[in-house]
Amino acid sequence: MRRFEYPYFGKRYLYDIPNKTLHDLVNETDECKINEIHEDDIDMYSHLNELALLLEHPVYYPCPHCMKKEEEK
């Protein structure tokens, strides 16, 4: 579920900074526990290939709950 308020800004991908985990909010599940991630621990991206993502976080792990579907396309 996309969220349009701070700190999500309607972007699709949420990066959990301490856990180095990337979530796809379009395919979000309850197990993602997005609402439990502190706003200071969040970076948002519109696209997976956004250069800023790789520059700021060269290592990330796709969330096993919401990123599966994306790989199958």
CA distances from 35 to 9, 46, 55 (A): 14, 19, 26
Terminal alpha carbon distance of the chain: 19
Can residue 63 be called a binding residue for Zn ion (CB under 5 A)? Answer: yes
Contact string (CB under 5 A) for Zn ion, positions 23-52, x = contact: x--------x--------------------
Q: How far is the CB of 35 from Zn ion (least distance, A)?
A: 12
Q: How far is the CB of 70 from Zn ion (least distance, A)?
A: 11
Consecutive H or E run containing 22: strand 21-24
Residues making contact with Zn ion (CB under 5 A): 23, 32, 63, 65-66
